[in-house]
Structure 1
Amino acid sequence: MKVEQLTPPLVVHGEGPAWSPRWSGIRWLDMLEGDVLELMPSGSVRRRHVGPVASLIAPRRGGGTMLATGTEVLVSDSDDLDAALDPIASLVDSPACRLNEGGCAPDGSLYIGSMAFDGASGRGSLWRIGADHTPVTAIDPVTVSNGIAWSPDGSTAYYADTPTDRVDMFSWTPDDGLSDRRPFASVGGPDGLCVDAEGGVWVARYGAGAVHRYAPDGALTAIIRVPAPFTTSVAFVGPDLRQLVVTTSRLEPQAGELGGALFAVDPGVAGVALTEFAG
């Protein structure tokens, strides 16, 4: 699979790629700089600063956008990148911790996790926020709460707590949320992840310069090599959801010349549409 470089190394720590047909293009985060970026059809990039940290962005059901900063979740009523944002939930009250990645379940509830800035063990949590904006703890404790995504039929969630070197799977229902946690696949340095229409799970491996695909039975079926060693997250984008984009980081000294660039590949399979936030 041929990897295409979509942008120069524009970010320090790329994360959270997302796409909505209502947006002008792919959006992703310069997480620790607190910026949201949007790749325009012309190839130019728009950037908006939202706070000390930008953790997650997703479309909002019925129009508008959901955005998470380092401590809270905000929403806008407009899809414009520069739309006014209003807070709906405050989740982190320790200056030693921040929000870090998440995703929306099939019912539109938001699952978003946290971690300590220094990666200290057991300092993070995973929360669920429904349409009423009330946060409920879903998993506690975790260390570096990272990617979460759902199977095409919505019955299974895949989740990475990075230091475990493993992606776990849960049974999921709208009433019960996450249950029956069990190992899915052993993965060194799992970061962001997404799911394709065949049920395959695509996982960015931080420090490996690679994205791995795992079949629904946990078998490794594909490896995409990326010319930047610190691959951070993945998402299917575009009208047919057949382009896989990969964010990267240049935080580490070994990041190389292309760390912080955005990449894309045609993986030969379509993705699952991003669920919009119901809140």
Structure 2
Amino acid sequence: MRPTMNVEDDVEIRCVVQSADILGETPRWCERTNRLWWVDVRRPALQFYDPATDKHEARRLQADLMIGSIAPREAGGFVMGTNSGIYVYDPATSEPPRRIADPVGDVPGMRLNDGRCDPRGRFWVGSMHDHNRVPVGVLYRLDADHGCRAMHDGFVLPNSIAWSPDGGTMYFADTHNQTSFAFDYDLDAGTISNRRVFADWTHQLGRPDGATVDVEGYLWTCMVATGHLVRQAPDGSVDRIIQLPVTNPTCPVFGGKDLATLYITSHSQRLAPETLAVEPLAGALLALDVGVRGLPEPRFAG
């Protein structure tokens, strides 16, 4: 699936927050606050950016709570996948994060990584070993009643959880194995089936990290290690490749007015000082206009 089109290196890309994140991840647009929220997994911190005021705020959370992903919650605040389970947290209150499920238990080194809600408000999140690249990852589904069940397993680094506009296809990637997958998704039952390879990125455009879907049903994926942003059609064919000004973009999401701006988080971890010197935007929050709108972010129903 090696693409034949040119890489676009002339797209205007803006740095909206020079946050210098160690591992910026899972940006989510909240239409209630008109703010973009995201996390720095390693710091750890929950952050927001308000495009109307250009305000950025990073809220440090307890040092031992490593937040791998967030999703907005119907009751307010967020559901969060962490290294010690699944929590709910509302930054508008004084209440600390509250654990509602613990699928990873006390297994040393395990944590939750990428997560997102399906169109019916179920929270899907994948686990991984934070130190060893071994296929012990499990994909979990958290329901509105806080019941949590394992739905798939056998991968190393879970990422790219997203759904097609009609909810009939679920996307997922194992970053370590450089493979993106697609599943048939039963929206009523909340189950996956018919797993197939959506894209094999081996020796191609990088390693697939976070992803999002636009209103036309195309999948946008950030490629770690190459700085590419790739748009794919529902059949898996590559439609666009945009070169970003960072080596390690992590996750894209549509936000802003009419969901017309594509925001992208990035990371700076493990970059040598000489690399950081020539890549000043590593860890920044970026934004660009790609000529298509995104989909509203589903909220956790529990």
TM-score (norm 1): 0.94
Distance 1:59 1:191, change over 3 A: same
**Matches of 1:82 and 1:240, distance apart in 2:** 31
Number of aligned residue pairs: 278
Distance 1:45 1:165, change over 3 A: same
TM-score (norm 2): 0.87
- SS across alignment from 2:145: coil
Q: Please give the residue correspondences for 1:257-272 in structure 2 after superposition, counting only pairs within 5 Å.
A: 257-272=280-295
2:44 counterpart residue number: 34
- SS across alignment from 1:252: coil
Tell me if 1:86 matches 2:108: no
Q: Of 190, 193, 197, which residue of structure 2 is paired with 1:183? A: 197
Partner letter of residue 179 of structure 1?
S
Q: Of 114, 134, 140, which residue of structure 1 is paired with 2:127? A: 114
Distance 1:24 1:83, change over 3 A: farther
Moved over 4 A (4+): none
**Matches of 1:22 and 1:122, distance apart in 2:** 38
CA deviation profile, 1:221-254 (whole Å, cap 9, x unmatched):
1112111101111111123111111111101324
2:60 counterpart residue number: 49
- SS across alignment from 1:240: helix
1:273 counterpart residue number: 296
* Unaligned segments of structure 2, at least 5 residues: 1-10
Does structure 2 retain, via aligned residues, the 8 Å contact 1:50–1:69? no
Shift of 1:62: 4.1
Tell me if 1:152 matches 2:160: no
**Matches of 1:82 and 1:275, distance apart in 2:** 25
CA deviation profile, 1:128-164 (whole Å, cap 9, x unmatched):
0111111100111211011200000000001011122
**Matches of 1:140 and 1:61, distance apart in 2:** 28
Shift of 1:79: 6.0
* Unaligned segments of structure 1, at least 5 residues: none
Distance 1:228 1:219, change over 3 A: same
Pair member with larger Rg: 2
Distance 1:108 1:219, change over 3 A: same
Shift of 1:123: 2.0
CA deviation profile, 1:10-40 (whole Å, cap 9, x unmatched):
3111111001112251111111112111113
Shift of 1:201: 0.2
CA deviation profile, 1:165-224 (whole Å, cap 9, x unmatched):
121000011315111100112233000000001010000001111110001111111112
